[in-house]
């Protein structure tokens, strides 16, 4: 769905995107993480042909960009930073205009003038704006404008959704509703590329993760792989001293009543502790959180050092 090789974008002496190689397959919900200023939005703009890269290759839906943009972009829904709309027009009128300005591709993305208003109305209902679709956009809150941008991105049931900070300006309930909506779109066959700096959002939604750090892609892996057991066992017990005596040098970390044991076999650890009379409250394989993985990959780099 998305593939880049050596993607680089420089603004004068500043390298905003540096040799990025993205690989997003059909069916992915790909979380594109990075701190503010790491180059995420510039990368997204390059993918959509809004900014020309300094060097490198880009493919969307198997076609080269921006050369094939005329054929590819009608099949791609996008929301980049803040959505734009005519403030004096209603949300529905804005969607109708957007729909009318696009091409009329065949297949499931098609649709003519006759059902244009129905498409706009359905898109508004999907993002929770069905009751305010006829209200002027200038009266919308920031969160409502963000929902309108999502409705515009989904207007034609795209094969690929490219979203840059889609939950910006939404309250917790709105964030949850958008997450459920994106999960439903994914289940219906839409591939989603989600750029965000919110770890929780990516952790709960995405199947694969890419991390951009100072313009370089330092992680690109499935979330299940990143969360895989580390080969150690975590034990929660009030009998810390006895547990340390039983397990000896296998105890690598002690944090209050939490012990980290050098063993990939929790059942065996549990059997030894129980046999010795240790009261085990909780036990299981150690798994790193997404936050821990990101901290390891980014904090280990010195300023100016290139990560591979």
How far apart, in whole angstroms, are the C-alpha atoms of residue 255 and residue 236?
Answer: 10
Q: What's the pLDDT score for residue 128?
A: 84
- Cα distances from 212 to residues 171, 196, 217, 296, in angstroms, run 26, 11, 5, 13
Question: Same structural domain for residues 99 and 78?
Answer: yes
Q: Residue 209: in which H helix or E strand, if any?
A: strand 208-213
Provide the pLDDT confidence category of residue 107 given band limits of 50, 70 and 90: very low
Question: Same structural domain for residues 185 and 255?
Answer: no
- At 260, which CATH number? 3.30.70
Last residue of a domain, one of 181, 208, 225: 225
User: Percentage of residues in the chain with pLDDT exceeding 70?
Assistant: 93
Domain containing 274 equals 230-287
CA atoms within a 13 Å half-sphere pointing along the CA-CB vector of 275:
9
SS (H, E, C) 109-161: HCCCCCCHHHHHHHHHHHCCCCCCCCCEHHHCCHHHHHHHHHHHHCCCCCCEE
Question: Same structural domain for residues 116 and 172?
Answer: yes
Section 244-251 average pLDDT: 95
Question: Could you report the per-residue pLDDT of 257-307, keeping only the tens digit for each?
Answer: 999 999 999 999 999 999 999 999 999 999 988 888 888 887 555 444 433
pLDDT tops 60 at residue 148? yes
Q: What angle do CA 5, 167, 49 make, to 5 degrees?
A: 30
- The number of angstroms, rounded, from the C-alpha of 72 to the middle of its chain's C-alpha atoms is 22
Q: Residue 104: in which H helix or E strand, if any?
A: none
Q: What's the pLDDT score for residue 42?
A: 94
pTM of full prediction above 0.85: no
CB 293 within 8 A of CB 299: no
Secondary structure letter of residue 90 according to DSSP:
B
Question: Same structural domain for residues 118 and 174?
Answer: yes
Last residue of a domain, one of 210, 225, 240: 225
Q: Per the domain annotation, does 296 fall within a domain?
A: no
Q: Per the domain annotation, does 185 fall within a domain?
A: yes
Question: Same structural domain for residues 52 and 193?
Answer: yes
Alpha helices in 188-239 (DSSP H): 199-205, 223-226
How far apart, in whole angstroms, are the C-alpha atoms of residue 267 and residue 284?
Answer: 8
- Calculate the dihedral angle through the C-alpha atoms of 28, 31, 32, 35, rounding to the nearest 10 degrees: 180
Q: Per the domain annotation, does 305 fall within a domain?
A: no
Q: Per the domain annotation, does 34 fall within a domain?
A: yes
Question: Same structural domain for residues 77 and 129?
Answer: yes
Question: Same structural domain for residues 203 and 270?
Answer: no
User: Percentage of residues in the chain with pLDDT exceeding 90?
Assistant: 56
Cis peptide before 66 (omega within 30 of 0): yes
Question: Same structural domain for residues 114 and 257?
Answer: no
- At 73, which CATH number? 3.40.50.300
Question: Could you report the per-residue pLDDT of 52-86, keeping only the tens digit for each?
Answer: 999 999 999 999 999 999 899 989 999 987 788 99
Question: Same structural domain for residues 101 and 131?
Answer: yes
Q: Per the domain annotation, does 140 fall within a domain?
A: yes
Question: Could you report the per-residue pLDDT of 159-175, keeping only the tens digit for each?
Answer: 999 999 888 777 888 78
Q: What's the pLDDT score for residue 276?
A: 95
Question: Same structural domain for residues 78 and 63?
Answer: yes
Q: What's the pLDDT score for residue 305?
A: 44
Overall number of domains in the chain:
2
- Cα distances from 243 to residues 59, 139, 173, 230, 264, in angstroms, run 55, 63, 44, 21, 17
- Beta carbons within 8 Å of 302's beta carbon, 6+ residues apart: none
Q: What's the pLDDT score for residue 105?
A: 46
Q: What's the chain's length in residues?
A: 308
How far apart, in whole angstroms, are the C-alpha atoms of residue 58 and residue 2?
Answer: 8
How far apart, in whole angstroms, are the C-alpha atoms of residue 24 and residue 103?
Answer: 26
Question: Same structural domain for residues 235 and 221?
Answer: no
pLDDT tops 50 at residue 33? yes
Question: Same structural domain for residues 50 and 137?
Answer: yes
- Beta carbons within 8 Å of 79's beta carbon, 6+ residues apart: 149, 150, 152, 153, 162, 163, 164, 166
Last residue of a domain, one of 225, 249, 265: 225
Provide the pLDDT confidence category of residue 102 given band limits of 50, 70 and 90: low
Instruction: Say whether 201 sits in a helix, a strand or coil.
Output: helix
CB 1 within 8 A of CB 191: yes
Q: Per the domain annotation, does 243 fall within a domain?
A: yes
Question: What is the torsional sign of CA 68, 82, 117, 183?
Answer: positive
């Amino acid at each position: 769905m998305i593939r880049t090789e050596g993607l680089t974008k420089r603004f004068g002496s500043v390298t905003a995107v540096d040799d990025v190689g993205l690989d997003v397959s059909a069916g992915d919900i790909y979380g594109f993480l990075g701190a503010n200023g790491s180059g995420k939005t510039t990368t997204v703009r390059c993918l959509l042909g809004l900014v020309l890269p300094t060097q490198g290759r880009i493919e969307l839906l198997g076609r080269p960009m921006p050369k094939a943009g005329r054929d590819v972009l009608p099949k791609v829904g996008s929301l980049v930073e803040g959505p734009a709309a005519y403030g004096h027009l209603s949300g529905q009128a804005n969607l109708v205009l957007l729909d009318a300005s696009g091409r009329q591709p065949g297949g499931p993305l098609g649709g003519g003038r006759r059902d244009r208003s129905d498409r706009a109305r359905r898109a508004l209902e999907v993002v929770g704006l069905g009751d305010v679709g006829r209200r002027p956009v200038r009266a919308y809150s920031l969160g409502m404008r963000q929902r309108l941008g999502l409705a515009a991105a989904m207007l034609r049931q795209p094969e690929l959704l490219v979203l840059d900070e889609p939950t910006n300006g939404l309250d917790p309930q709105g964030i949850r509703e958008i997450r459920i909506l994106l999960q439903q779109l994914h289940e219906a066959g839409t591939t989603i590329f989600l750029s965000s700096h919110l770890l929780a959002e990516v952790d709960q939604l995405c199947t694969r993760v890419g991390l951009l750090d100072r313009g370089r892609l330092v992680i690109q892996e499935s979330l299940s792989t990143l969360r895989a057991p580390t080969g150690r066992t975590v034990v929660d017990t009030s009998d810390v001293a006895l547990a340390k005596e039983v397990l000896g040098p296998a105890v690598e970390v002690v944090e209050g009543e939490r012990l980290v044991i050098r063993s990939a076999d929790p059942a065996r650890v549990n059997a030894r502790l129980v046999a010795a009379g240790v009261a085990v409250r909780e036990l299981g394989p150690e798994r790193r959180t997404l936050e821990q993985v990101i901290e390891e990959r980014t904090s280990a780099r010195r300023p100016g050092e290139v990560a591979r």
